[in-house]
């Protein structure tokens, strides 16, 4: 009996077999490469954390440098008390979306620089225009002065919103203060030439990247505000 | 199908006479996107060669069993599967490059060169010539990518494969990198220049 290759039954069986075969091949590849991929993603995260403290590791030395500079990492809650868990494994995206700030787990990375000073690195996560934006800000041990910042994005417009990842934008944060006369005010991002309504320190947004710039502002506000108690303790400790 | 296939022609035609980019003007979008630096251009070229060669072979092996009314779907499933595998491999072994290429590896699926070769060649030819055709067309694409990437990185960043090649004294004497070279429009203009040079050397390709 000749097989009718144009019949519906043949077509359906053909495509089912094909899809199952391709699916099995993909599942196998994914499983066998998973470990390496996770390793790469972690190394990239470490690179970003270090970048916020102005450390640029050489290629292939990211993990070594991370272990060298990041001397401690822990999680705090919104009252500033340490809670159990591994800071590196905290999903900052999920935490930033938890509306109840009191229930957030807040990772802190302590970075000890070559000159012996400690910097506190806090992760932030928010939304830009086209997709997520995230970053890390590093603070001096007084819990108020910004030492550096690193921002990254998934798909902001090149030349406009995407400029947030450039040093020209993130370097503006250096030396700004989060505490003003004992009040906690995260840094604002405003249009060039304007000033924020409050008393907080501010940086200039990116011309043509207004929504991304505003996204950075609200990301800092949303993600840094829960750290207030922790940073306040830091600032009183060092005084 | 009775006509004799000249393997040499199948392999070498796409390099110049029938180049997918400069003669058929296919796959232009990825040429614009990934050629600001030489390294991603090269990796993209190699990925396309791999995907095109293997999808050509697989489709060629299956060609007599594929029901005609779903042949495009079958081609897409095969190509998509291969592309995801390449993407996974890059993520595991060349993470930085895969971050730069980001969506463009995924977009190989919709690269017109692939569908064109599968439909025009692999559906009607045996595996070995199909493999040659795939590698040939992939190389034809990769060559253009590398040429464009070479000029854009050299003139736009003063580097090649990330190494500084334009000496510091040039900058000291007032030379500056051309920022426009890094932006997508210059890729089009460079491709156009290549087409111009190519056509002026191959008179038979010139349209009236």
pLDDT digits (tens, 9 = 90+) for B109-121: 878 888 888 888 8
Neighbours of B15 (CB within 10 A): 13
**Partners of residue A56 in chain B, C-beta under 8 Å:** none
Q: Which of A11, A36, A40 sits opposite B70 (nearest CB)?
A: A11
Give me the pLDDT at residue B58, please: 92
Residue B118's domain comprises 20-200
CA A174 from chain center: how many Å? 18
Judged against a pLDDT cut of 50, whether residue B34 lies above it is answered with: yes
Q: Is residue B7 part of a domain?
A: no
Q: Is residue B8 part of a domain?
A: no
Q: Is residue B119 part of a domain?
A: yes
Radius of gyration (Cα) for chain B, nearest Å?
A: 19
Q: Which of A22, A26, A40 sits opposite B95 (nearest CB)?
A: A40
Judged against a pLDDT cut of 80, whether residue B4 lies above it is answered with: no
Q: Which of A29, A41, A43 sits opposite B85 (nearest CB)?
A: A29
Give me the pLDDT at residue B2, please: 43
User: Which position has the token pair 């030492």?
Assistant: A147
Band of pLDDT at residue A2, cut at 50, 70 and 90: low
pTM of the model: 0.75
Instruction: Kindly list the distances between the CA atom of residue B130 and the CA atoms of B12, B38, B138, in Å, as whole numbers in the listed order.
Output: 13, 28, 12
Establish if B101 touches chain A: CB-CB under 8 angstroms. Answer: no
Do B95 and A44 make contact, defined as CB atoms within 8 angstroms?
yes
Give the DSSP letter of residue A177: B
Give me the pLDDT at residue B153, please: 87
Phi–psi pair at A161, nearest 5 degrees: -60, -30
Using CB atoms within 10 Å of the CB of residue B8, give its burial: 0 to 12 exposed, 13 to 18 middle, 19+ buried.
Answer: exposed
Instruction: Kindly list the distances between the CA atom of residue B52 and the CA atoms of A11, A124, B132, B135, in Å, as whole numbers in the listed order.
Output: 25, 41, 10, 7
pLDDT tens per residue across span A192-211: 888 887 778 888 988 888 89
Judged against a pLDDT cut of 80, whether residue A15 lies above it is answered with: yes
What's the mean pLDDT in B146-152? 90
Contact residues, chain A to chain B, C-beta under 8 Å: 5-6, 10-11, 14-15, 18-19, 22, 25-26, 29-30, 33, 36-37, 40-41, 43-44, 159
> In which element (H, E) is residue B50 found?
helix B38-62
- Substitution target in A22, A41, A42, A166 with the highest count of B β-carbons within 10 Å is A22
Do A26 and B84 make contact, defined as CB atoms within 8 angstroms?
yes
pLDDT tens per residue across span B65-104: 888 888 889 998 999 999 999 889 988 888 888 887 767 7
Kindly identify which residue of chain B lies nearest to residue A39, measuring between CA atoms.
B92
Kindly identify which residue of chain A lies nearest to residue B179, measuring between CA atoms.
A159
Give me the pLDDT at residue A1, please: 52
**How far does the CA of residue A108 sit from the closest CA of chain B (Å)?**
26
Q: Which residues contact B152 (CB under 8 A, 6 or more apart)?
A: B35, B36, B37, B181, B182, B186, B187, B190
Q: Is residue B188 part of a domain?
A: yes
**How far does the CA of residue A9 sit from the closest CA of chain B (Å)?**
11
CA B43 from chain center: how many Å? 10
The contacts found for A163-166 with CB under 8 angstroms, 24 or more apart, are A163/A206, A163/A209, A164/A128, A164/A133, A164/A206, A164/A209, A164/A212, A164/A213, A164/A216
ipTM: 0.73
Q: Is residue B11 part of a domain?
A: no
**How far does the CA of residue B94 sit from the closest CA of chain A (Å)?**
9
Q: Is residue B117 part of a domain?
A: yes
Give the Cα separation of B42 and A9 in Å (integer): 44
β-bridge mates for residue A125, sequence order:
A134
What's the mean pLDDT in B158-176? 83
Q: Is residue B35 part of a domain?
A: yes
Instruction: Kindly list the distances between the CA atom of residue B145 and the CA atoms of A46, A212, B25, B178, B191, in Å, as whole numbers in the listed order.
Output: 32, 32, 13, 19, 9
**Partners of residue A15 in chain B, C-beta under 8 Å:** 70, 73-74, 77
List, as one string, the DSSP characters of B138-171: HHHHHHHHHHHHHHHHHHHHSEETTEE-S-HHHH
Give me the pLDDT at residue A239, please: 56
Chain A with chain B: Cβ pairs closer than 8 A = 55
Establish if B179 touches chain A: CB-CB under 8 angstroms. Answer: no
Judged against a pLDDT cut of 90, whether residue A123 lies above it is answered with: yes
Give me the pLDDT at residue A135, please: 93
Neighbours of B160 (CB within 10 A): 16
The contacts found for A54-63 with CB under 8 angstroms, 24 or more apart, are A54/A147, A54/A148, A55/A111, A55/A113
pLDDT tens per residue across span A147-203: 999 999 887 877 778 888 888 899 999 989 888 888 888 888 888 888 887 778 888
Q: How many domains does chain B have?
A: 1
Do B89 and A30 make contact, defined as CB atoms within 8 angstroms?
no
Give the Cα separation of B35 and B153 in Å (integer): 8
Judged against a pLDDT cut of 60, whether residue B40 lies above it is answered with: yes
Q: Which of B68, B69, B85 sits opposite A26 (nearest CB)?
A: B85
Q: Is residue B9 part of a domain?
A: no
Structure tokens at A180: 């003003």
Give the Cα separation of A111 and A136 in Å (integer): 12
Give the Cα separation of A224 and B8 in Å (integer): 65
- Substitution target in B36, B79, B88 with the highest count of A β-carbons within 10 Å is B88
Give the Cα separation of A115 and A70 in Å (integer): 14
């Amino acid at each position: 009996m000749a097989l009718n290759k144009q019949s519906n039954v043949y077509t359906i069986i053909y495509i089912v077999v094909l899809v199952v075969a391709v699916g099995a091949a993909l599942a196998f590849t994914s499983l066998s490469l998973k470990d390496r991929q996770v390793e790469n993603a972690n190394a990239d995260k470490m690179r970003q954390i270090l970048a916020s403290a102005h450390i640029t590791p050489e290629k292939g030395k990211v993990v070594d440098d991370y272990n060298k500079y990041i001397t401690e990492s822990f999680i705090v809650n919104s009252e500033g008390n340490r809670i159990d868990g591994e800071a590196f494994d905290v999903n900052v995206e999920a935490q930033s979306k938890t509306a109840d700030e009191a229930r957030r787990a807040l990772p802190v990375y302590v970075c000890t620089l070559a000159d012996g000073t400690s910097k506190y690195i806090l992760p932030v996560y928010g939304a830009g225009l086209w997709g997520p934006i995230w970053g890390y800000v590093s603070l001096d041990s007084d819990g108020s002065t910004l030492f550096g910042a690193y921002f990254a994005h998934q798909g902001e417009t090149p030349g406009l919103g995407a400029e947030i990842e450039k040093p020209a934008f993130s370097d503006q944060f250096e030396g700004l203060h989060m505490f003003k006369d004992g009040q906690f005010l995260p840094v604002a991002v405003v249009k060039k030439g304007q000033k924020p309504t409050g008393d907080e320190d501010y940086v200039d947004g990116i011309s043509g990247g207004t929504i991304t710039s505003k996204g950075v502002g609200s990301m800092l506000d949303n993600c840094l505000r829960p750290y207030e108690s922790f940073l306040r303790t830091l600032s009183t400790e060092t005084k | 199908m009775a006509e004799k296939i000249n393997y040499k022609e199948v392999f070498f035609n796409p390099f110049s006479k029938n180049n997918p980019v400069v003669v058929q003007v296919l796959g232009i979008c990825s040429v614009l996107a990934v050629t600001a630096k030489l390294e991603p251009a090269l990796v993209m070229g190699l990925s396309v060669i791999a995907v095109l060669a293997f999808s050509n072979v697989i489709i060629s092996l299956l060609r007599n069993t594929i029901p005609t009314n779903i042949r495009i779907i079958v081609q897409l499933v095969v190509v998509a599967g291969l592309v995801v595998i390449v993407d996974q491999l890059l993520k595991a072994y060349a993470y930085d490059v895969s971050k730069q290429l980001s969506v463009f590896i995924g977009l190989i699926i919709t690269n017109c060169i692939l569908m064109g070769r599968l439909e025009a060649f692999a559906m009607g030819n045996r595996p070995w010539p199909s493999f040659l055709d795939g590698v040939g067309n992939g190389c034809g694409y990769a060559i253009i990518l590398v040429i464009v990437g070479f000029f854009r990185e050299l003139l736009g960043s003063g580097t090649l494969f990330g190494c500084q090649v334009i000496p510091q004294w040039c900058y000291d004497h007032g030379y500056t990198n051309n920022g426009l070279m890094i932006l997508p429009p210059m890729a089009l203009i460079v491709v156009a220049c290549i087409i111009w040079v190519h056509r002026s050397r191959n008179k038979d390709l010139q349209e009236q």
